[in-house]
Structure 1
């Protein structure tokens, strides 16, 4: 007998798309013969508690219906277990789904592909980053980009994308180099002045910004993108190229590969999958095949 499928839903994802997306996704799974239970937490901690209970209770799969924030929460429940993760990507960024080649903002098609994967047992082993007990799927950001996040989070009077645009303008005005101490694997630590350092398990963050364009989800390594100390003018020239990944050819940008990365810097917060991890220093480890993802068969 087929075990129950659990849909973990963020009703506010993608400006309300999450609540609407759960219906066609659930319908596609039920049409394929799978019993479906929907979980909506009162807050993040409650949603995580419910998701972990479902995994511990033997759910056939945990399906995240939302954006990268909800996928990040789901990863905390399924990483290191045999329970596969499905992704119905209806958020604003959707970078984890994008890296896997899954549909974006098409919940009915995503539901059908997820059902087909369940029928065929089609899963893909995917690496995850781990910082302490926290897992992440896409990029750990630090420096200019994380300071934009910090500032946006403090701007309670604004909202939406406008908040981040204002925060970016403000951070550009306050642009200054950051003194980092960086350790890659067992290599000697390096001290350097940089604008930002991004540790990529996947290639993109922020809705398609390919900051670590060469990163792969199944090679057991991070791509570490370092943007050296640069002027406002140079940064403004580099940022538009990030969407194409061509910034990696800029002389101010270098890329390194490592299984373990330690970042140390004063006054810098680390963000992973768009969620705050806490202040540096932080050590990230790439854990190969940490989660099984339903890929569509």
Structure 2
């Protein structure tokens, strides 16, 4: 049986979703307190600070709530990976892809019941160049689109990503990749390589429809070189995951994936949980069962 009384610390990104994170916490906090739980609220000054706050709350024995989008949730969950601490997700950002993969409800009453009564579920995390993340690591036109969307000040949510993706695709030159999956080296030209723990990325797109967060494996999705009209068709098929049936899309599985450029003279960013930590190369390693999360 779950404990009768849980202590919570909510780590909030005040800027997520145009300040929606702080607003979305109010009814949830009220429901938790009315049920007799104690909840403290910590506002982060940035992602690094969010990780520090999460680690401190975990040491105090609190259930740590990540309140925001995938970047904040990934940083908070990453800070808890391997610690045994309990993690809860309050989806309050633009994408909420990891929460979507886990089936975490957005309704405050349903989410409060889950956080108060739910049993912990062990899920995998990913170590990307030594930094724990949750959803996926990707390097290609999607990372460039991610950068474009993050720079957009007028548009929000999926609209920002659509416009950013369009700009990225129109300017894209096929990249020469070297992808190493559990020691097997592949040379590919194309649009992107994704090492996915979660099946969703990019605001609800099912990049890896068969990915599971508890199988100890990464789904590696390679979208190979194709004419732009065909690539736009692939982008549309990301809505339901049917793109994986195309011959231009290759899917593999492994525990360790290294993504690098096969030719000199070009730099590409890589993305992780909606953020852009750096440029290629990147090595992603699965961390089996590293996170204890309150999820259906």
Q: Give yes or no for TM over 0.5.
A: yes
Match of 2:218 in 1: 222
Deviations 1:68-88 (A, max 9, x none): 121112113211111110111
**2:93 and 2:112 mapped to 1: Cα distance?**
15
Give the deviation of 1:195 after TM superposition: 1.1
Aligned partner of residue 190 in structure 1, secondary structure: strand
Match of 1:179 in 2: 176
Deviations 1:181-208 (A, max 9, x none): 1100022x12111211111101011221
Match of 2:18 in 1: 15
Match of 2:293 in 1: 293
| Structure 1 segment 1-297 matched on structure 2, within 5 A | 2=5, 4-59=7-62, 61-104=63-106, 106-117=107-118, 122-153=119-150, 155=151, 158-161=154-157, 162-187=159-184, 189-265=185-261, 266-295=266-295
Aligned partner of residue 251 in structure 2, secondary structure: strand
Give the deviation of 1:159 after TM superposition: 4.3
Deviations 1:29-81 (A, max 9, x none): 2222221111112333333222221112222x101122212111211321111
Distance 1:156 1:277, change over 3 A: same
**1:17 and 1:156 mapped to 2: Cα distance?**
17
**1:152 and 1:75 mapped to 2: Cα distance?**
23
Normalised TM-score (structure 1): 0.91
Aligned partner of residue 14 in structure 1, secondary structure: coil
Query: What is the RMSD of the two structures over their aligned residues, measured on CA atoms?
Result: 1.8
Dislocated runs of 4+, deviation >4 Å: 155-159
Distance 1:169 1:132, change over 3 A: closer
Deviations 1:245-274 (A, max 9, x none): 000011111100000000001411110110
Figure out how many residues of one structure are paired with residues of the other and give that number.
Answer: 288
Deviations 1:217-242 (A, max 9, x none): 00000001111101111111110110
Aligned partner of residue 49 in structure 1, secondary structure: helix
Distance 1:174 1:133, change over 3 A: same
Instruction: Decide whether the 8 Å contact of 1:89 with 1:107 is kept in 2.
Output: no
Give the deviation of 1:108 after TM superposition: 3.1
Instruction: Decide whether the 8 Å contact of 1:228 with 1:252 is kept in 2.
Output: yes
**1:115 and 1:253 mapped to 2: Cα distance?**
42
Q: Which runs of no fewer than 5 residues in structure 1 stay unpaired?
A: none
Instruction: Decide whether the 8 Å contact of 2:31 with 2:108 is kept in 1.
Output: no
Deviations 1:138-185 (A, max 9, x none): 1211111112223444x4665435543333222222222100011000
Normalised TM-score (structure 2): 0.91
**2:182 and 2:37 mapped to 1: Cα distance?**
44
Instruction: Decide whether the 8 Å contact of 1:13 with 1:67 is kept in 2.
Output: yes
